[in-house]
A and B are shown apart, each in its own frame.
Chain A
Amino acid sequence: MSLQTLILCRRAPYGSALAREGLEAALASAAMDQIPDLLFSGDGIFQLLDNQAPEEIQQKSLLRNLQALPLFGVERIHICQQSLNRRGIGVDAIALPGLELTLVEDTGALIARYQHVLSF
């Protein structure tokens, strides 16, 4: 029996509306008691960086959406290790209280466990 839905987040925050709209979809799904798993990959890992100040460009913080995930029952997120490496980002640059961070080496094996993958 495969897991239900993996939400794949590949967009950097603020430059693309899909970053926010992906997280909103994740929160809405969790609010309906369909807790999705999330994988941050590619530029999506930029969503996770600490020290964002989007008020500088009159945008709402995406980190607030991420911080809301545990309130809706999402306890951990998956992060693509290779994407971190390629961008020279250490996992210590990511501080999301209440969320367990799982580093993924083999993305293909992770994806294979799901019935659906919803890409953003």
Chain B
Amino acid sequence: MKFSLVVYSAPHAGESAATALRFAQAVARQGHQLLRVFFYADGVHNGSALPAPPQDEQNLLRPWQLLQRETGVELVVCIAAAQRRGVLSQSEAKRLERPAANLAEGFELGGLGQLADASAHSDRLVTFGGPA
């Protein structure tokens, strides 16, 4: 069965982004296809390479990247939501004349059409929302 996930929460903001990661890992473990994880609203922060949490705290970035390499799941960061919040690829940083790019390896920027497309082409769509 084909699954897509939608994530609205930043990695450090609460439990929701971590829950989404654990669920995604379970989907892969069960042999289902993970088509796409769409990071939207504050969820775009999951695609930033810059957070530097203390060593003894959870870091979600590496496990997302590992899951992407192992399963080929598309980690799509909504470009409009990301521009607002400052998650930029090299080309976006250049185009918008910002001093740095921070989109992490394994993640890609994509339009909201990718969310509609995930909805159309997945058997199951699961939303992971935060409190905001």
Contacts and interface: CB of A to CB of B under 8 A. Distances in A.
A18 B8 contact: yes
6 contacts: A18-B132, A25-B116, A28-B112, A28-B115, A28-B116, A36-B116
Contacts of A24: 80, 112
- Which of the four size classes fits the interface of chain A? 10 to 19
Nearest to B118: A116
Interface residues of B, number: 21
Given A29-B112, A118-B6, A17 B132 contact: yes
Interface string B91-132: 000000000000000000001110111011010110101001
A47 to B, nearest CB: 16
A17 B41 CA distance: 7
A28 B42 CA distance: 18
B119 A21 contact: no
Interface in A81-120: 116-120
Nearest to B41: A21
A5 B8 CA distance: 18
Interface string A27-49: 01101101010000000000000
A119 B127 contact: yes
Interface in B41-73: 41-42
B110 to A, nearest CB: 11
Contacts of A18: 8, 41, 129, 132
Contacts of A118: 6, 115, 119, 125, 127
Contact of B125 (A29, A32, A116): A116
Nearest to B125: A116
B116 A16 contact: no
Query: Which 4 pairs across A and B sit closest by C-beta, in order of nearness?
Result: A28-B112, A29-B116, A116-B125, A119-B127
Given A21-B41, A29-B112, A118-B127, 16 more contacts: A4-B119, A4-B120, A5-B119, A5-B125, A18-B132, A21-B81, A25-B115, A25-B116, A28-B111, A28-B115, A28-B116, A29-B115, A34-B119, A116-B122, A116-B125, A118-B6
